[in-house]
Chain A
Amino acid sequence: MTAGPAARLQEVGLRYGRTVALDAVTLDLPAGCMAGLIGPDGVGKSSLLALVSGARRIQAGRVEVLGGDMASARHRGAVGPRIAYMPQGLGRNLYPTLSVFENIDFFGRLFGHGRAERERRIAELVEATGLAPFTDRPAGKLSGGMKQKLSLCCSLIHDPDLLILDEPTTGVDPLSRRQFWELVAHIRAGRPGMSVVVATAYMEEAAQFDWLAAMQGGRVLATGTPRALMERTGAASLEAAFVALLPEAEREGHRPVEIRPFAGAGGEEDGEAAIEARGLTMRFGDFVAVDKVSFRIRRGEIFGFLGSNGCGKTTTMKMLTGLLPASEGQAWLFGQEVDAGDIGTRRRVGYMSQSFSLYSELTVRQNLELHARLFNMPAAAIPARVAEMARRFELAGILDTLPEALPLGQRQRLSLAVAMIHGPEMLILDEPTSGVDPVARDGFWRILVELARRDRVTIFISTHFMNEAERCDRISLMHAGRVLVSDTPAALVEKRGARNLEQAFIAYLEEAVAEAEGPAPIPATAPVPAAKGAAQTLLASPPPASPSPRRGFDIRRMFSFSRREAMELRRDPVRATLALLGSLILMVVMGYGITMDVEELAFAVLDRDQTTTSRDYTLNIAGSRYFTEQPPIADYDDLDRRMRAGEVALAIEIPPGFGRDVARGRAVQVGAWIDGAMPSRAQTVRGYVQGMHADWLAQRAAQGPGGGVTAGQLFTIETRFRYNPDVRSLVSMVPAMIPILLMLIPAMLTALSIVREKEMGSIVNLYVTPVTRLEFLLGKQLPYVLLGMANFLLLVGLALFLFDVPLTGSFPALAAASLIYLCAATALGLLASTFLRTQIAAIFGTAVMTILPATQFSGLIDPVSSLEGAGAVIGNLYPTTYYVTIARGTFSKALHFADLRGEFLPLLLAAPVLIGLSAALLKKQER
């Protein structure tokens, strides 16, 4: 294994659109050791690792991993199970609604471990990582450090030879970070042949690795051991070495940050208090996010906050800004008590939130102006203030640029300028420098120091970087909602007798964790020694039956995807609601909304005859179920007014002398005004009135002595409304709506389930595990087919019991057709998901792909035979057409299997064709 390099890259290039991520990189990553890629965000580290892991498609150059070409699908298939890849972002390859156990179990199933084997391995892994007490907790509710440990467990379940870790400790507290690395070290001790490749932005960590490659701008600046890099540049620290390695142009203007000591650097009681907090507490339900935090910050001081993600730093800061009302405790800004409802306090504070949060649609200038206005600065003063900010924060050249086009460092300066626009006396900065490269970070800090020392602005800042913490006048360490300690950095190091600030913090954290958990079986302080034994027993002994994953179609892998999908669906209330309730709601809505029955229409009569004959004519209309009579119309004005107001849909005018003329057989005209505003209704009304008029005539002819023969009496037409004798709209619509609902919702949910993975990042599991495309697709599809069948039963129940539509034909035939149809509908969703990228696109894309063809071209309203052109072609291909015929046939026409053979055949073809197409289009690698 150690013979060649773990991975060899030759002239590898990669670009996203016009952005160059990797520029002809040639690099050998050594095997059997810890190899690190260092550099700030966005220099190509992640892209390089994605290429090595096989998750991303190679665009240019050659990548050889574990002795084979990664461009070859065959080699990827063979070598894939030997590589473990942990992508960037906390727990990005995990499923947040699944528990710790379920997550690991899912990966175990993918690699084909049997039940006993899986349980043994999971038990050992959670033991080794200290996750054992939390196996039932959903991954989404774990802290950052725990997520990363879980992610590591998932990666290690199949004994990889090459472990690829992409920024595994970004955003993780120092203690968890150390535990993580010790865990990796012990696993390596157990499997000496294993190569580990890590990308990191923490230079302190990288200093511990065996071999490093420094990257910048898609290129490799230098490689070698950490010591060699430092010697080469003559730098004292790795960070300084990295800056020294940068090309001249990028290093330009870089000066080390110098800090004059804080003027009031005496005891804590000295100076005026800018911020004072006493017993600040924040509870979200049962969860205590901030627990009795107290501190005191003096005017003009730079005060640092350190701690892991989710330890309460952000919440504390929000309480100070007045964003959140504290559950308990008090805080004072400049001696005034903070009140969340008091808008006045907000004017004295500038706040910069964790992520870039300015309007990316507004230019730099517009952003500055907007904030100035919202802080109610006088309009006349704004241009001057904007200009001043631009000068001070070096934004003058980019005032009319959109923030999106700017590098991260400049964006952070803009955020700071916006926070400073109204001249606040205090700045609250929540992790302002994460992701910013060292040179830009130093520039940022120079501005901060100037603000604090020259303008006496009080700065309250949170950070993950130790060297930034060292620059603060005083720092507080937070853990689990509590402040552990506050003091000057030097004093803290001294107090613990530690080598440096990081060691001091870890010591404090360990103490706090031990206190919190007591002598529990798996205290988080202990996992390191505990892990040693466990990890070694786990990984030193070759696993007894680690089966080499089967290359072809494996039904177990397919089911593991189905199982997981079903679990996720159960835990997502909005999707589950849509899946079950949504179709019922829509069925009711459409059942009543697309009705074509016209009943109980308002009509009124302008009877200017007032004889028995005229009343007889009126009664003939009023007696039908279609019309309800309103008070009679007085005159033409009344008629006009009531029709305009929409009170009557039909007005009948009977002329004076109507009765007399009818009796004498003289020609006479009855007037009917129909409200034409709604044409379909008007047309139906016209039909009804004509029919009733003819009826009335026939009755008269039958009663009285007729003269000649009228046209109506020459012959009769006997109309038989078949299948639906009462011509009820629901009988016609309900069986046709089931196909539409069974198309729309299953297709959308299936498409969402895959596109969601693309958006959340867990799609990477398809790229780097031995699962095949067909297993993945069918596995994803199965739960939705079953869900669709449940839906089908509900809809049939609704049709039978709420809408009273009888099922006259064969239920088995209908159910069988539904199952086949659902396979086709979900397959259509799969097909859509192969080219849609975001969830919102998936919703609208599948809606477009299903609603129009299903409602317009499949015979719901107009029969397919009546369609022309493209509509007719789509109608004849679309599976809904055939299922509509089957549904109507079984519901209304009393048909059975044998009568519907012609419709089953096209349905049976649709699903395999669609699934095959999806499998062909689905990418097994990211582009």
Chain B
Amino acid sequence: MRLANIGTLGVKELRSLVRDPMMLVLIVYSFTLAIYSAATAMPETLSRAAISIVDEDRSPVSARIAGAFYPPYFLPPVPITQGEMDGRMDAGLDTFALDIPPDFQRDLLAGRQPTIQLNVDATRMSQAFTGSGYVQTIVGEEVAAFARRYRAVETPQVELVLRARFNPELKPSWFGAIMQLINQITMLSIVLAGAALIREREHGTLEHLLVMPVTPFEIMTAKVWAMALVVLLASAFCIALVVQGLMGVPIQGSVPLFLAGAALHVFATTSMGIFLGTVARSMPQFGLLLILVLLPLQMLSGGSTPRESMPEFVQVVMLAAPTTHFVSLAQAILYRGAGLSVVWPKMLMLAVIGGALFGFALARFRESVARIG
């Protein structure tokens, strides 16, 4: 009897959703275009970096160095004088400034180990670090190739062979696609559940439900299962059509296992959505709260930057967030092909967090229902 109520109410939620074109558009957009564009727009780490060269040597080797920088990694180098360098860097015109000293070629060939100065604008973190590595490698190769014509140069005897597992070419879009999917799952499940509750309250239909033989537990469970189903179905389609199909990201592990993890995650986030729905008194307040809740959930979960690099207390606090566990679960299953034996602790954590959030939201919901008059 109770199950029948939960079923009936859930079907009602789905029917309402079908009639809400804005929400449907939002769902379709979030699981297709948003993921595709965000994943493919993720820039390669170095792209069109601005570089200028102070060439005080004006020799064949310095010309050779200048000629080695070209798009897409670098913009064509701007020849400048030493006097201009500081001003240009202060104004942020250049990220890199290479200073080739006078008599560089002569000293090089004479074995006097001349020094090239590389100035990096380190306020531009994204380019500064990897970029300076690139610049060093490029300059080194050009100089070595030039020198090899004149004198013997040995290759190092100990070679480092680097292999990246799970994503051999380190394509950012592979990573971006899945992380975007996780962000969308989190956002949509919170929005759908919270908005469904607020809409019922604003339209007065919640009150109407409560005069019928229906308990708050049934109402809330119905919303959770209906919205979770929508999000899960959308995610499954998205993995099959967009992630694997359109973008060709290879999935290592089991998609059903991932969806099982996602179900636990969505259980937690829909409960969170309902909780926010009881806190916010209106749709606008819900929107504002959403921003404050969603950003930390997404940015500190380990989905955008590694958790190891965050301060200790942030890491600890974020252990209470479902996204943290879901992100690591998703990475393990989808990229590294991990099985249930590896990810079960994370699933357990998700279930615990979800249960706690559900219980908390239900208590809030009961309380807010009692104050409805």
16 cross-chain CB contacts under 8 A: A323-B210, A346-B212, A374-B212, A574-B285, A574-B288, A596-B125, A599-B309, A674-B164, A678-B331, A682-B167, A712-B140, A714-B147, A717-B140, A721-B120, A724-B123, A863-B92
CB of A17 closer than 8 Å to a CB of B? no
**6 A-B pairs closest in CB distance:** A593-B299, A357-B204, A676-B167, A839-B284, A724-B122, A676-B164
Question: In the complex, are the beta carbons of B166 and A677 less than 8 A apart?
Answer: yes
Query: Does B90 sit within 8 A of A, measured CB to CB?
Result: yes
Q: A731-745: which have CB < 8 Å to B?
A: 731-733, 735-736
Within 8 A of A (CB), among B268-285: 280-285
Residue B355 at the chain A interface, CB threshold 8 Å: no
B20: interface (CB < 8 Å): yes
How many A-B residue pairs have C-beta atoms within 8 angstroms? Tell me: 386
Q: How large is the interface on B (under 10, 10 to 19, 20 to 34, 35 or more residues)?
A: 35 or more
Q: For A323, list chain B residues within 8 Å (CB).
A: 207, 210-211, 372-373
User: Roughly how many angstroms separate A578 CA and B287 CA in the complex, as a whole number?
Assistant: 11
A406 to chain B, nearest CB (A): 15
Residue of B nearest to A597 (CB): B309
Interface size grouping (class) on chain A: 35 or more
Interfacial residues of chain B within 82-124, with CB under 8 A of chain A in the complex: 89-93, 95, 104, 107-108, 111, 113-124
Residues of A within 8 A of B370 (CB): 324-325
Q: How far is the CA of A60 from the CA of B68 in the complex (A)?
A: 70
Q: Which of A322, A690, A722 contacts B119 (CB 8 A)?
A: A722
Cβ contacts under 8 Å, A347 to chain B: 213
Q: Nearest residue in A to B209 (C-beta to C-beta)?
A: A374
Check if B211 sits within 8 Å of A349, measured CB to CB: yes
Determine if A344 is an interface residue (Cβ-Cβ < 8 Å): yes
B332 at the interface (CB under 8 A from A): yes
Distance (whole angstroms) from the CB of B65 to the closest CB of chain A: 11
Please give, as numbers and ranges, the residues of chain B lying within 8 Å of A358 by CB-CB distance. Answer: 205, 208
- Residue in A282, A585, A689, A756 with the greatest tally of chain B CB atoms within 10 Å: A585
The answer to whether B12 and A370 touch across the interface, beta carbons within 8 angstroms, is: yes
Contact B332 A721 (CB under 8 A): no
Contacts from B to A (Cβ < 8 Å) = 1, 4-5, 8-9, 12, 15-16, 18-20, 43, 45, 47-50, 75, 89-93, 95, 104, 107-108, 111, 113-130, 132-133, 135-136, 139-140, 143-144, 147, 151-168, 170-172, 174-175, 203-205, 207-215, 280-285, 287-289, 291-292, 295-296, 299-300, 304-306, 308-311, 314, 328, 331-332, 335-338, 342, 370-373
Residue with the greatest number of chain B CB neighbours at <10 A, chosen from A665, A667, A862: A862
A600 contacts chain B at the CB level, 8 A cutoff: yes
Asked if residues B126 and A861 are in contact (CB atoms below 8 Å), the reply is: yes
| B305 surroundings in chain A (CB, below 8 A) | 593-596, 680-681
Do A727 and B12 touch across chains, with their CB atoms under 8 A apart? no
Check A672–B308 contact: CB distance below 8 A: no
**CB-based contact A893/B113 at 8 Å:** no
Binding site for B on A (CB under 8 A): 282, 284, 289, 314-315, 318, 321-325, 343-344, 346-347, 349, 351, 353-362, 366, 370-371, 373-376, 402, 574-575, 578, 582, 585-586, 589-590, 592-602, 641, 643-646, 649, 662, 665-684, 686-687, 689-691, 693, 696-697, 707-725, 727, 729, 731-733, 735-736, 752, 756, 839-840, 842-844, 847, 859, 861-863, 865-868, 885, 888-889, 892-893, 895, 899, 902
State the Cβ distance, B98 to closest chain A Cβ, in Å. Answer: 9
Q: Nearest Cβ distance between residue A844 and chain B, in whole angstroms?
A: 7
The residue that B154 contacts in the complex, of A602, A707, A861, with Cβ under 8 A, is: A707
Chain A residues in 8 Å Cβ range of B128: 721, 724, 727, 732
Point out the residues of chain A lying under 8 angstroms from B144, CB to CB: 711, 714
Query: A888 near B92 (CB under 8 angstroms)?
Result: yes
Query: Which residue in B19, B122, B299 is a CB contact (below 8 Å) of A361?
Result: B19
Contacts of A727 in B (CB 8 A): 122, 125, 128-129
A372's nearest neighbour on chain B, judged by CB, is: B8
Contact (A862, B126) CB under 8 Å given A671-B163, A675-B166, A687-B133: yes
